Structure 1
């Protein structure tokens, strides 16, 4: 398996786990049982499960109005979007930045 495929598999797995954690929490809320802590749901989103968290939030209609959870999840998603934009645009700006750094020395 190539490195890219391995990373894609890990990200997919994290998102599946995140979605399942939201489902579990929603089911527990309905049954009045032990709930998954919000901090754990946000942590799962932070480590790469934000697409799974948002998908679960929308499909399961879970934690859609809960504040500050909703805002914190959207901040995590925004951070991930910026990080991906920087990552994918790196081939465009990285050579210029490296040249500028070497010129400064």
Structure 2
């Protein structure tokens, strides 16, 4: 049971980071400041934050013209959701 809560916490944290990192990069883009690299955005997504990053992309309307983000991030989010469901079934 404790492991389940740790996994849930990790997923929530990574997705919150994914969401807010999109917002931070959008804010930096508007102000012409130093940007968060695309590799950092992808690393956060791959490490469990794809759902949050995809939600942040939609919410902030950021990176929506880049095909790799427009199609790749939602696809990765669906894959991660499936992995999360599978993990929770194993832990239950």
TM interval, shorter chain, is 0.7 to 0.9
Match of 2:83 in 1: 83
Which blocks of at least 5 consecutive residues in structure 1 are unaligned?
91-105
Secondary structure of 1:3 counterpart = helix
Larger relative contact order, structure 1 or 2 (CA cutoff 8 Å, min sep 6): 2
Q: How does 1:12-31 map to 2 (within 5 A)?
A: 12-31=12-31
* Poorly superposed stretches of 4+, deviation over 4 Å: 84-90
Larger Rg: 1
Over aligned residue pairs, what C-alpha RMSD do you find? 2.1
Structure 2 portions without partners, runs of 5+ = none
Taking the TM superposition and a 5 Å limit, the aligned residue runs for 1:44-63 are 44-63=44-63
Residue aligning to 2:32: 32
Partner of 1:95: none
Q: Distance in 2 between matches of 1:87 and 1:5?
A: 12
Measured in 1, the distance between the counterparts of 2:63 and 2:45 equals 13
Deviations 1:13-37 (A, max 9, x none): 1111111211110000000001111
* Equivalent residues, number: 90
Q: Is the 8 A contact 1:38 1:69 kept in 2?
A: no
